[in-house]
């Protein structure tokens, strides 16, 4: 066992043991604890959990690689703008209002605001989004285990599945939340320590977001000398239209992610939900302002070490990653030298997997083995924290929104918990399969999930809060149209599926914006020709947007709409709420 593997094993054992201990101490026996942690998580802790849940393996492992290698630095900025901008949208437009509405899950909100048909469509959307997203997380787990512990990728995913199963099934949302607080601490320390060390090494400045600007001119010149486009040059690898489409898909997808939205139900109050959003934005910014620097530093180090080297005369870190298949070289011109010749990527003499840039950064910079092991533990923390949140969404969709609301409305808490845990176990098996056979690299898979969330959930959530005329039939139709168009196009174009040429050069990662627009149009048009929601529900929608909590909103959130209607000579539909029952 190498020194790096030994240190990685130490950090993995310590952190995994800590996560399981937290879950054991936080174990729950009721549905409120399992789904929303009893609504009692303090704002700073909830903010850290939101940050860990949202900053997945894509943010930790893959984003800096996307910025550095998949695109040049300018084009890669779509991920920074989309993901962070989307979080601001979520915090301002959705989180506090959904928390005030008082439902466990996104399908719960949809079912209550619209009707049961819309709820079922939203369950399908939640499952599709969550399974696509979790595939990226489990794939990231496999990459870390494969490289740093010498474990076969398949077995790496299986180990990750077992760990998530233990702490997610045991503790539910309460255990997951406190585990994610710990995972955030691990991932941010693991990200910042090597970033600061490399920043000092290359620029003599311990603040990476400031320091990387000093090497950009040099990096631009280095790339141009090698026949590559300048690192900071605009629109060299993607058009302005696609920059807009991808950024928008990531932004509106962030605001529609069910596993992030449910986090705001774990806060103690609407006020705490707002402060949770503020804390989360601070915690997220620590990594997101550092990622561009990590990408630039890594690319600078790679370009100064590898191009022009002999095929068999490369650094040890390069050979190690090449041995596990995440770097490939091919001597196309037969001169025994790695020639970049104007391009890096598949089909050229040098191809570097985007998922290794952060994980390999300490090795590339020659940092000590303990830091390398810490980064591996951070990558696992990022992947597992998001995977657990996604699996809880899948579990709650099955147990709460299907079993309890449709199959067995008289189910006890114990029965609901049993179904939820069985659903989570089944979901982990599916997630493991997808992690072993992912449809792309980590961030690409995650970007597809964001597009699906934008196309399915964002329109009906925003309109459900801000347009009281939105009807149930319109919401169900809009979700179906948005999800179908986006998913079918992704399957049509992805090389791992049908692999057809994109229509009008729109990438699979940008089609979610088109799906979202079609969803909005569908909801607005269909709402003109279908029955309005009940007067009582329209009043709930009106009241939920204003400060404070009206008697009506309180009655709605606590499930006392029938009593309120009788007291105030109002009415509810046959399901006991004020939604449109036509669907």
Of the pLDDT bands very low, low, confident and very high (cuts 50, 70, 90), residue 38 is: low
- Tokens 């990527």 found at: 345
Angle, vertex CA 541, rays to CA 537 and CA 546, nearest 5: 140
* Contact assessment for residue 211 and residue 293, using Cβ atoms and an 8 Å cutoff: yes
Taking the domains of the chain in order of start, what are their residue ranges? 3-298+367-527
pLDDT over threshold 90, residue 12:
no
How high is the pLDDT of residue 352? Answer: 84
DSSP 334: S
Burial class (CB in 10 A: 0-12, 13-18, 19+), 388: buried
Distance of alpha carbon 400 from alpha carbon 395, whole angstroms: 8
For residue 576, count other CB atoms closer than 10 A to its CB. Answer: 13
Mean per-residue pLDDT, 426-443 = 75
* Cβ atoms 119, 127 nearer than 8 A: no
pLDDT per position as a tens digit, 132-141: 888 777 877 8
Q: Give me the pLDDT at residue 514, please.
A: 96
Residue 116 has pLDDT above 60, yes or no: yes
Structure tokens at 527: 């709402």
Q: In whole angstroms, give the CA distance from residue 249 to residue 243.
A: 10
- Cα dihedral sign for 119, 125, 128, 130? negative
Among 49-58, 102-111, 521-530, 555-564, whose mean pLDDT is lowest? 555-564
Looking at the predicted structure, is the pLDDT value of residue 172 above 90?
Answer: no
Lowest mean pLDDT among 77-81, 287-291, 434-438, 523-527: 434-438
Residue 321 has pLDDT above 60, yes or no: yes
- Measuring CA to CA, which residue among 245, 250, 243 is closest to residue 85? 250
Strands of 306-454 (E only): list them. Answer: 327-329, 350-352
Cβ–Cβ contacts within 10 Å for residue 558, how many?
11
- State the Cα–Cα distance between residues 364 and 92, nearest whole angstrom: 40
CATH of 3-298+367-527, one of 3.40.50.1820, 1.20.1730.10, 3.40.30.10, 3.40.470.10: 1.20.1730.10
Residue 439 has pLDDT above 70, yes or no: no
Query: Average pLDDT of 67-81?
Result: 74
pLDDT (tens digit per residue) in 475-519: 999 999 999 999 999 989 877 667 788 888 888 889 999 999 999
Per the prediction, the chain carries an average pLDDT of 82
* Least confident among 37-51, 312-326, 372-386, 414-428: 37-51
CA distances from 345 to 40, 46, 66, 546 (A): 48, 40, 12, 52
Closest CA to 106 of 401, 447, 527, 451: 401
Q: Is the pLDDT score of 316 beyond 60?
A: yes
pLDDT confidence of residue 307? 87
Neighbours of 162 (CB within 10 A): 12
- pLDDT tens sequence across 205-262: 999 989 888 888 888 888 888 888 888 887 777 788 888 999 999 999 988 888 777 7
């Amino acid at each position: 066992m190498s020194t790096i593997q030994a240190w990685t094993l130490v950090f993995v054992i310590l952190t995994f043991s800590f996560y399981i201990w937290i879950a054991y101490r936080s174990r729950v026996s009721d549905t409120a604890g399992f789904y929303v942690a009893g609504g009692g998580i303090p704002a700073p802790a909830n903010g850290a959990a939101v940050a860990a849940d949202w900053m997945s393996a894509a943010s930790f492992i893959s984003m800096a690689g996307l910025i550095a290698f998949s695109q040049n630095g300018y084009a890669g900025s779509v991920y920074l703008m989309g993901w962070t901008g989307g979080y601001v949208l979520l915090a301002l437009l959705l989180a506090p209002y959904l928390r005030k509405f008082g439902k466990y899950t996104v399908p719960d909100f949809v079912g209550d605001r619209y009707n049961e048909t819309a709820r079922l469509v939203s369950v399908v959307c939640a499952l599709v989004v969550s399974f696509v997203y979790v595939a990226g997380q489990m794939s990231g787990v496999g990459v870390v285990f494969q490289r740093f512990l010498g474990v076969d990728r398949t077995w790496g995913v299986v180990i990750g599945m077992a760990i998530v199963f233990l702490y997610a099934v045991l503790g539910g949302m309460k255990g997951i939340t406190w585990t994610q607080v710990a995972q955030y601490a691990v991932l941010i320390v693991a990200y910042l320590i090597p970033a600061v060390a490399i920043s000092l090494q290359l620029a003599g400045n311990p603040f990476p977001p400031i320091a990387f600007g000093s090497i950009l001119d040099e990096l631009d010149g280095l790339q141009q000398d090698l026949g590559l486009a300048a690192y900071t040059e605009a629109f060299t690898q993607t058009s302005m239209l696609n920059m807009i489409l991808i950024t928008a898909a990531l932004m509106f997808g962030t605001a529609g992610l069910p596993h992030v939205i449910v986090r705001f139900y774990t806060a103690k109050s609407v006020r705490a939900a707002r402060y949770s959003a503020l804390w989360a934005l601070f915690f997220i910014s620590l990594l997101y302002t550092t990622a561009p620097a990590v990408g630039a530093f890594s690319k600078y180090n790679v370009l100064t070490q590898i191009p022009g080297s002999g095929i068999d005369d490369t650094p040890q870190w390069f050979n190690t990653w090449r041995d596990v298949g995440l770097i490939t070289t091919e001597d196309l011109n037969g001169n025994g030298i790695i020639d970049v010749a104007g391009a890096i990527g598949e089909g050229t003499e040098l191809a570097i997997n985007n998922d290794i840039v952060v994980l390999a950064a300490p090795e590339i910079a020659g940092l000590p083995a303990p830091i390398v092991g810490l980064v591996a533990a951070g990558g696992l923390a990022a992947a597992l924290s998001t995977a657990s949140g996604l699996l809880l969404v899948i579990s709650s969709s099955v147990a709460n929104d299907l079993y309890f609301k449709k199959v067995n409305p008289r189910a006890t808490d114990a029965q609901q918990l049993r179904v939820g845990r069985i659903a989570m176990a089944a979901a982990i098996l599916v997630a493991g399969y997808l992690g072993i056979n992912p449809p792309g690299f980590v961030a690409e898979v995650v970007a597809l999930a964001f597009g699906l969330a934008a196309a399915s959930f964002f329109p009906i959530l925003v309109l459900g809060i801000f347009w009281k005329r939105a009807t149930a039939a319109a919401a169900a139709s809009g979700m179906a149209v948005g999800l179908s168009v986006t998913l079918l196009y992704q399957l049509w174009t992805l090389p791992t599926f049908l692999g057809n040429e994109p229509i009008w050069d729109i990438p699979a990662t940008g089609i979610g914006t088109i799906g979202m627009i079609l969803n909005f149009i569908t909801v607005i048009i269909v709402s003109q020709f279908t029955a309005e929601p009940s007067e009582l529900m329209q009043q709930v929608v009106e009241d939920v947007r204003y400060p404070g909590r009206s008697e009506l909103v309180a009655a709605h959130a606590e499930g006392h709409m029938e009593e309120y209607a009788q007291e105030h000579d109002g009415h509810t539909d046959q399901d006991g709420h004020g939604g449109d029952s036509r669907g």
